[in-house]
């Protein structure tokens, strides 16, 4: 009885409207006429999400505390052991001032890479239907955030800003299947592309790294930093991305690819930074954490100020060293 | 209160709940129950296809522009409009069976999710792959089955309590 002709006509009109909007928005891309509508959404829902996040955050923390308790116990034990070792080291060597400075610089990634960062907090996670790895943060145009700015946290690269409202903005995580980041290998400086696999918030949070040069060496344990985009938007150079976990064997492929474990844990994102001012020159590997060894020896890779060659631009430098350190190390470096 | 404003209120609450609370839950599988879709389906079941599809369209449009969303505006509006219409046609189910409505809601979740993915595939969204759809689609149905009793109960209660336009619906729950 409800299903009259009028209903069908209106159904048709609504579906047509929706389809029209999809097409207009899709064709328009960044400059879509419907971005005003998105701005409206951000203006209306942004503050509500911020408020709700402020309410739910303590509950969430409590839940994390409870659910993470067994893990936390073992973690405490590991950390206590590590503490002991470190204390021993301290007793042995003493804490001289230069090392203390180095440590604090390690902790403050942004200071090390000389990024100008606006601090932000994650307020809402995940876009529609579980297909999108996106995030709302509680800073917006009022704080100077614009689209295509790099988002990072203390561990490494998180993503980029895709939409900005007055008090909130949307971040596309690097694990999203639609995300692509220019990246380079530590050491050999080989250039490649990091693309998401859409599983940052579920399952294995691995991302794919593709080397442009198929002859370049790639092995598990290699570390990857961001390469930097033109004019430093959307990605500033030198932000740590992750560690190569396993090299993919794809015979006949034109480029070599590997699965990379990101430094950032995307399920527990909380405090983030939006880079509003990029560094003056590419910090290269200076921002990477020290190589993972059981005993943290602080004096390994970090020589800030020494690595970035003066006058070097973040654009591709013509000739990357074609043969990185030889020694075809075992099984990981496959035939071709 | 009339049906229109009541439906709008229900959808708005569902949307806020979805974005601020449910999407933050660390549930296994990495996806969460789609409360907006379930609310649209429940509203349609109670009120018929006309209210259902209009509510679905606007709920979807709102979900398309709420901040963390990063897809073409209109995709979700299209999917939920169809879901609202189809559930509205199954209106009688609520009076005649006590279990079937949950099946309808789960079917709505399946259909809505598939339609959303299909539209994405149509415009070449790189996120929609066989792997991601195969992972998300079954999970969304499972979560819909788990969440549907709560949503359906609350929505029918709200309409029974505040709806002044129609004589009481007899809902067996």
Q: What is the pLDDT of residues B51-99, one digit of tens each?
A: 888 899 999 888 888 877 778 888 889 999 999 988 888 877 777 777 8
- B40: pLDDT confidence band, cut at 50, 70 and 90? very high
**Alpha-carbon dihedral sign for residues A54, A150, B32, A63:** negative
Which range in A40-44, A240-244, A275-279, B69-73 is most confidently predicted, on average pLDDT? A240-244
In this complex, the residue of A19, A26, A67 whose CB is nearest that of residue B78 is: A19
**CATH T-level topology, domain A116-284:** Thrombin, subunit H (2.40.10)
Q: What is the pLDDT of residues A98-116, one digit of tens each?
A: 545 544 544 455 555 566 7
SS3 for A122? strand
Q: Which of B156, B159, B14 is nearest to B98 (CA)?
A: B156
Distance, CA of B72 to CA of A11 (rounded, Å): 20
Could you say which architecture CATH assigns to the domain B3-162?
A: Orthogonal Bundle (1.10)
Encoded tokens for A148 = 């295509």
Q: Are A261 and A205 contacting, i.e. CB atoms less than 8 angstroms apart?
A: yes
Residue of A nearest to B124 (CA): A26
How far CA A197 is from CA of A188, A194, A205, A263, A280, in Å, comes to: 25, 10, 8, 16, 32
Q: What is the pLDDT of residues A191-218, one digit of tens each?
A: 888 988 876 566 677 888 888 887 778 8
A181 pLDDT higher than 50: yes
pLDDT, residue A36, reads: 79
A289 pLDDT higher than 80: no
What does residue A62 show for φ and ψ, rounded to 5 degrees? -60, -45
pLDDT, residue A59, reads: 75
Residue of B nearest to A6 (CA): B50
Q: Which residues pair with A223 in a beta bridge?
A: A243
Q: Give how far B99 is from chain A: nearest CA, Å.
A: 23
Q: Which of A126, A137, A214, A213 is nearest to A175 (CA)?
A: A126
The residue extents of the domains of chain B are 3-162
SS3 for A64? helix
Share of chain B above pLDDT 70, in %: 92
Write the CB contacts of A120 (distance below 8 Å, at least 6 apart in sequence): A137, A138, A139, A143, A151, A271, A272, A273, A274
Contact across the interface for A25 and B63, Cβ inside 8 Å: no
In this prediction the pTM is 0.63
Burial class (CB in 10 A: 0-12, 13-18, 19+), A105: middle
Alpha helices for A114-268 (secondary structure H): none
Chosen from B4, B52, B67, B72 to mutate, greatest number of chain A CBs within 10 A:
B67
SS3 for B96? helix
B106 pLDDT higher than 80: yes
- A317: pLDDT confidence band, cut at 50, 70 and 90? very low
Which residues from chain A sit within 8 angstroms of residue B128, using beta carbons?
Answer: 131
């Amino acid at each position: 009885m409800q299903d009259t002709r009028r209903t069908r006509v209106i159904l048709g009109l609504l579906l047509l409207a929706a389809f029209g909007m999809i097409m207009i928005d899709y064709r328009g891309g960044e400059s879509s006429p419907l971005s005003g509508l998105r701005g409206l959404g951000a203006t209306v829902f942004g503050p509500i999400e911020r408020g709700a996040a402020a309410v739910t955050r303590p509950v969430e923390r409590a839940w994390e505390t409870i659910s993470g308790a067994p893990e936390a116990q073992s973690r405490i034990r590991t950390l206590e052991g590590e503490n002991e070792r470190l204390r021993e080291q301290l007793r042995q060597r003493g804490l001289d001032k230069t090392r203390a400075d180095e440590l604090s610089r390690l902790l403050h990634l942004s200071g090390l890479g000389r990024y100008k960062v606006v601090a932000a907090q994650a307020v809402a996670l995940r876009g529609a239907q579980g297909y999108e790895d996106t995030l709302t943060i509680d800073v917006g145009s009022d704080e100077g955030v614009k689209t295509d700015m790099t988002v990072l946290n203390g561990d490494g690269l998180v993503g980029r800003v895709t939409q900005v409202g007055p008090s909130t903005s949307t971040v596309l995580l690097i694990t999203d299947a639609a995300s692509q980041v220019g990246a380079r290998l530590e050491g050999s400086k080989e250039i490649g592309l990091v693309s998401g696999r859409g599983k940052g918030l579920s399952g294995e949070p691995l991302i794919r790294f593709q080397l442009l040069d198929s002859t370049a060496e790639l092995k598990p344990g290699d570390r990857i930093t961001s390469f930097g985009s033109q004019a430093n938007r959307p990605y500033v150079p030198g932000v740590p991305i992750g560690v190569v976990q396993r090299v993919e064997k794809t015979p006949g492929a034109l480029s070599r690819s590997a699965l990379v474990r990101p430094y950032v844990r995307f399920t527990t994102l909380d405090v983030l930074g939006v880079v509003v001012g990029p560094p003056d020159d590419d910090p290269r590997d200076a921002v990477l954490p020290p190589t993972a060894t059981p005993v943290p020896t602080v004096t390994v890779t970090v020589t800030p100020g020494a690595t970035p060659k003066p006058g070097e631009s973040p654009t591709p430098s013509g000739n990357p060293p074609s043969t990185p350190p030889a020694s075809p190390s075992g099984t990981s470096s496959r035939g071709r | 209160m009339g049906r229109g404003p009541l439906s709008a209120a229900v959808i708005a609450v569902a949307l806020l709940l979805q974005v601020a609370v449910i999407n933050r839950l660390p549930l296994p599988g990495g996806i969460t129950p789609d409360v907006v879709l379930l609310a649209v389906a429940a509203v349609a079941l109670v009120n018929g296809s006309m209210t259902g599809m209009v509510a679905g369209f606007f709920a979807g449009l709102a979900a398309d522009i709420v901040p963390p969303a990063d897809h073409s505006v209109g995709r979700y509006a299209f999917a939920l409009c169809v879901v609202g219409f189809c559930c509205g046609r199954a209106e009688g189910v609520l009076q005649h069976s006590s279990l079937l409505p949950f099946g309808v809601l789960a079917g709505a979740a399946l259909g809505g999710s598939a339609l959303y993915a299909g539209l994405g595939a149509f415009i070449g969204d790189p996120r929609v792959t066989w792997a991601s759809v195969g992972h998300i689609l079954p999970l969304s149905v499972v979560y819909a089955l788990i969440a549907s009793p709560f949503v359906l109960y609350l929505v029918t209660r709200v309409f029974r309590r505040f709806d002044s336009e129609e004589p009481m619906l007899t809902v067996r729950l």
